Amino acid sequence: MNSDIRDIANWARSQGWDINDTADGYTRFFDPEGAYICRYPATPATHFAA
């Protein structure tokens, strides 16, 4: 898990969320009802310059 999201992941767990680090290098968030919400990469990319 990327250290940027460690605090929010811990908070989400305390609220019944399921947070898993997966083999593809992402941390995945599931809400208390089990619905998949989003993922966060271990190494986020930089933003696009238009």
Partner 1 sequence: MINWTVTLTYEGWPTANELDDFEDALMTFDALVSSVPGLGFQAILHVDSADMIGATMVARDYAEPLAPGKLIELRAMTSERHVAQADEPNLPELVSVAEIADMLGGVSRQRVHQLRSNLAFPKPLAELRTGAVWDARSITKFAAQWDRKPGRPAKIGHAS
User: What is the contact surface with partner 1 in residues (CB under 8 A)?
Assistant: 31, 33, 35-40, 44-50
Structural contact between residues 29 and 19, judged by C-beta atoms closer than 8 angstroms: yes
- Cβ proximity to partner 1: between 13 and 31 the closer is 31
- Please report how close the Cβ of residue 49 comes to partner 1 at its closest, in angstroms: 4
- Please report how close the Cβ of residue 9 comes to partner 1 at its closest, in angstroms: 15
- Cβ proximity to partner 1: between 10 and 36 the closer is 36
CA 45 vs CA 15, 20, 48: distances in Å? 28, 20, 9
Rounded Cα gap, residues 8 and 43, in angstroms: 17
